[in-house]
Amino acid sequence: MSSPRLRSRRRKRTPVGARPGTLTPDPQAHETEATLITFDDGSAGASGPGTLEAVRAARAAGRKLWLDVTGLRDIGFIRAVGEEFGLHQLALEDVVNLGQHAKLESFETNVYAVLRMFHQDRPLESEQISLFLGEDFLITFQERRGDCFGEVRRRLGDPKSQMRRRGTGYLAYALIDAVVDGYFPALERAGDTLVDLEDEILTGPDPSQMLRLHEMRGRLMAVRRAMWPTRDMVNSLQRGDIALVSEETRVFLRDVHDHVVQIIDMNESYRETASSLLEVYLSMQNARMNEIIKILTVVSTVFIPLSFLVGLWGMNFEGSPWNMPELQWAYGYPAALGVMVLVAGGILTFILRKGWLRDASRVPRPEARHPEDRPRS
């Protein structure tokens, strides 16, 4: 069975040679639902179904709006939203073609941004979040239900919130900040898992630990692929060449950039730790194999001379003065056993004095770590 990371790369793409801007739905796309949140300074916000009629009514009333679309199956609705807000066809094509890297594209009347959001309950899967920022609107497209925007919605519904006064640019910042901050809990759990794996590996290597390490490295690699383009995207947003982002909002975007850099540093540190633990695991497995080979070699070293003696005494030739006299001796058999015991004992004594039977793979059992000793974020 292939992993979710590999399955996510086999998404359906636009047919080769198709006209630019062709919208091709993913066969596994979720049902399309839309929620409309209207807001402005000095009036109560409203939330309801994001139908095209509600969108047109809100725009006619001059209200700022956030249209949140979850599920990308209804291509007709997505195309209609694009026509209503003047969204570029190539940007809409990127919305439905999943697997995009984080990026920022600026058009005449809006800005298009893409991010990767990791789910807390599905740590190996990430979701593509597309944002369209306009003068009086913000549109988000998500693959499925479930996101990290609950606190942003609560703040937007509060009449006293500064978010309502600062407009759609600040709202876009708040959503991007929520996506970025969602990486910290995932990385903290990854750090705790690596600490537990280290204790388990030093206590005794097990094949299941190898699988968990590979899974952890894959998860950290996915975070790396998502965060490096996100840093460039946030850099582009906080530059002064995008008029839809105010100077006040750029100050907050610098804080998001700092968080992205911190996440990248944490992730790189954990990736190095995972690689080091993998090397430790392989080294301890090799040490255990060497100990087994050492024991087998000692056994062979002891029994090779005994086999030689048994074979020598087993040649029961008769009728020759060169026959072994002990063959006819009443105590010959006990004497032969005694000689073999002395030979075996001498070999074992020599090996023990040389220290060749020491178990190099044994390490002191790690003590239980105090919670304060775990990696800090």
- Three-class DSSP labels, the chain: CCCHHHHHCCCCCCCCCCCCCCCCCCCCCCCCEEEEEEEECCEEEEEEECCHHHHHHHHHCCCEEEEEEECCCCHHHHHHHHHHHCCCHHHHHHHHCCCCCCEEEECCCCEEEEEEEECCCCCCCEEEEEEEECCCEEEEEECCCCCCCHHHHHHHHCCCCHHHHHHHHHHHHHHHHHHHHCHHHHHHHHHHHHHHHHHHHHHCCCHHHHHHHHHHHHHHHHHHHHHHHHHHHHHHHHCCCCCCCCHHHHHHHHHHHHHHHHHHHHHHHHHHHHHHHHHHHHHHHHHHHHHHHHHHHHHHHHHHHHHHHHHHHCCCCCCCCCCCHHHHCCCHHHHHHHHHHHHHHHHHHHHHHHCCCCCCCCCCCCCCCCHHHCCCC
DSSP-assigned letters across all residues of 181-195: HTHHHHHHHHHHHHH
The CATH 3.30.460.20 domain(s) of the chain lie at 1-164
Cα 87–226–201 angle (5° rounding)?
Answer: 160
Please give the Cα distance from 116 to 114 (Å, whole number).
7
> How many Å apart are CA 9 and CA 48, to the nearest integer?
34
pTM of the entire predicted model: 0.76
Mean pLDDT of 112-139: 84
Say if CB 257 and CB 227 are below 8 A apart: no
Q: What is the pLDDT of residues 249-285, one digit of tens each?
A: 899 999 999 999 999 999 999 999 888 888 888 888 8
Domain boundaries 1-164, corresponding CATH code = 3.30.460.20
The fold of 292-373 is Methane Monooxygenase Hydroxylase; Chain G, domain 1 (1.20.58)
Read off the amino acid at residue 83.
Answer: E
pLDDT band at 289 (very low <50, low <70, confident <90, very high): confident
Give span(s): CATH 1.20.58.340, the chain: 292-373
Q: Which two tokens stand for residue 314?
A: 């087993």
Q: Which residue has the higher pLDDT, 47 or 9?
A: 47
CA distance 154 to 160: 11
Residue 44's pLDDT band (cuts 50, 70, 90): low
CA–CA separation, 376 and 10 (whole Å) = 36
Q: How far apart are the first and last CA of the chain?
A: 34
**Predicted confidence (pLDDT) per residue in 349-370, tens digit:** 888 887 777 654 454 444 545 4
Res 219 pLDDT > 50: yes
Q: Which two tokens stand for residue 144?
A: 């499925």
pLDDT for the residue 345 = 87
Mean pLDDT, residues 314-338: 71
Residue 30 phi, psi (nearest 5): -80, 160
